């Protein structure tokens, strides 16, 4: 195995990003890498500018979710062709690395949870919020092994909890502990990306794991993981669609078409969950039961950014500042377009 393939293998973990079928997943990753759609920061920095030869380019960074249906169907490409624009796609396994790509100027649009934009803005990313999902608190949770003695949030004190640093689950953990009279410092944080966190969870190297769907559904279905708490009554766990301030300003027509197409796919999935699960299972290469478990607790639709939504993000920024997780205050109004 070459050094490049070893690095990719390490990044996805021993069992792939959902802990399912390592060989199958690695084959797909290596094929994608050869085609130039899986890239690290050095490669992103070499990406061409968003305009060339008179054709505008929308560079989308996506995670595992309904954006994949839009990608697979090709309807967005058809719509944007009339605007003399084309689309490229790059898949990421978590929000922070996705926003790193935005910050170095290598993607123009993507989907992400609540917390990563805060860290990105604190690092100077020129991020603009362009749409959001409804609240989706059931799509993230704290899970433990099925035979774990942990039965409540109160049992977490002193325990080792794995989660992706800078992701939406970090804010969820902060507020979950606060709700139950504990502090962020009362637990031991083990910062791991989803694939590595699953491996640690399976080995018993951590006591619990804070994770989102479809990784959450995969752990429940294939490992029998047990939820201690989801985000209901704790945080909203919205999904956000983002761009850069400059791209959104210069390409409002493109952003409008993307949001319309996303909303069409979302509403179709809401009304056709079985068909959507079958489509996504084929795209992801994971068991249908996992995708059904994930979609059956989802909330659908693409909503405009309102002052109230930005205020939710402001509360996250203020919380992270108080915990010294970000170095400076943020004014979320600066991220509106």
User: Quick one: average pLDDT of 52-65?
Assistant: 84
pLDDT band of 144, cuts 50, 70, 90: very high
Specify whether the CB–CB gap between 149 and 124 falls below 8 A: no
Grouping H, G, I as helix, E, B as strand and the rest as coil, residue 145 is coil
Task: Read off the tokens for 48.
Answer: 């061409």
Q: Does 149 share its domain with 104?
A: no
- pLDDT at residue 258 tops 50: yes
- pLDDT for position 94: 76
Res 28 pLDDT > 60: no
The 8-class DSSP code of residue 16 comes to T
- The yes-or-no verdict on residue 206 having pLDDT over 90 is yes
- The residues, any chain, with a CB within 8 Å of residue 186's CB and separated by 6 or more, are 156, 157, 158, 177
Please check whether residues 84 and 162 belong to one and the same domain. Answer: no
Q: Is 215 among the domain residues?
A: yes
Judge if 113 and 191 occupy the same domain. no
311 inside domain: yes
Total residues belonging to the chain: 337
Beta bridge partners of 89: 60
Which residues, in sequence order, are bridge partners of residue 55?
52
Least-confidence region, from 4-13, 141-150, 226-235, 308-317: 4-13
Is residue 10, in this structure, part of any structural domain at all? no
Owning domain of residue 64: 39-135+238-281+301-335
Do 147 and 181 fall into the same domain? Answer: yes
DSSP strand E in 41-139: where? 51-52, 55-62, 85-91, 109-112, 127-132
Does residue 27 surpass a pLDDT of 60? no
pLDDT tens, position by position, 108-128: 999 988 988 999 999 899 999
CB 284 within 8 A of CB 64: yes
Residue 53: what pLDDT? 64
Residues 334, 337: Cα–Cα separation, whole Å: 8
| Radius of gyration of the CA atoms of the chain, in A | 19
Q: What is the DSSP string of 208-230?
A: EEEEETTHHHHHHHHH--EEEEE
Span 267-294, pLDDT tens digits: 999 999 999 999 999 988 889 999 999 9
Count up the domains in the chain and report the number: 2
3 state SS of 126: coil
* CATH classification of the domain holding 315: 3.40.190.10
HSE (CB half, 13 Å, CA atoms) of 288?
Answer: 7
Last residue of a domain, one of 230, 260, 290: 230
Does any domain span residue 146?
Answer: yes
Per DSSP, 336 falls in state: B
55 and 183 fall within a common domain: no
DSSP strands (E only) in 159-258: 160-163, 188-191, 208-212, 226-230, 240-244
Residues 246, 316 share a domain: yes
DSSP 82: T
Q: In the structure, how many helices (H) and strands (E) does the chain have?
A: 15, 11
Residue among 33, 17, 25, 309 nearest 164 (CA): 17
Please determine, for residue 59, whether its predicted confidence score (pLDDT) is greater than 50.
Answer: yes
Contact 92, 98 (CB under 8 A): yes
CA distance 121 to 336: 12
């Amino acid at each position: 195995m070459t050094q490049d393939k070893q690095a990719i293998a390490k990044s996805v973990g021993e069992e792939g990003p959902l802990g399912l079928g390592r060989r199958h997943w690695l084959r797909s990753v290596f094929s994608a890498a050869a085609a130039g759609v899986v890239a690290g920061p050095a490669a992103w920095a070499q990406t061409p500018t968003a305009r060339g030869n008179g054709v505008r380019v929308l560079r989308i960074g996506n995670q595992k979710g309904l954006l994949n249906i839009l990608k697979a169907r090709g309807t967005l490409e058809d719509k944007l062709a009339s605007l003399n624009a084309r689309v490229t796609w790059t898949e990421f396994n978590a929000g922070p690395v996705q926003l790193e790509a935005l910050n170095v100027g290598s993607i123009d649009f993507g989907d992400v949870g609540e917390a990563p934009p805060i860290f990105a803005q604190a690092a100077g990313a020129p991020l603009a919020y362009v749409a959001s999902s409804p609240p989706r608190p059931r799509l993230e949770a704290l899970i433990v092994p099925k035979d774990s003695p942990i039965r409540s949030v109160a049992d977490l004190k002193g325990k080792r909890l794995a989660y992706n640093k800078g992701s939406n689950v970090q804010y969820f953990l902060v507020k979950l502990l606060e709700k139950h009279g504990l502090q962020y410092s009362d637990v031991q944080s083990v910062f791991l990306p989803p694939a590595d966190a699953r491996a640690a969870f399976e080995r018993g190297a951590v006591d619990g794991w804070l994770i989102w769907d479809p990784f959450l559904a995969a752990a429940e279905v294939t490992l029998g993981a047990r939820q201690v708490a989801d985000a209901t009554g704790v945080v909203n766990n919205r999904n956000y669609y983002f761009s850069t301030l400059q791209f959104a300003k210069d390409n409002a027509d493109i952003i409008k078409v993307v949001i319309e197409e996303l909303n069409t796919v979302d509403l179709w999935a809401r009304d056709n969950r079985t068909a959507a699960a079958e489509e996504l299972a084929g795209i992801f290469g994971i068991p249908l039961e996992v995708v059904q478990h994930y979609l059956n607790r989802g909330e659908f639709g693409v909503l405009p950014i309102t002052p109230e939504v930005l205020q939710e993000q402001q509360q996250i920024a203020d919380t992270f500042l108080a915990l010294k997780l970000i170095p400076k205050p943020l004014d979320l109004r600066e991220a509106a377009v």
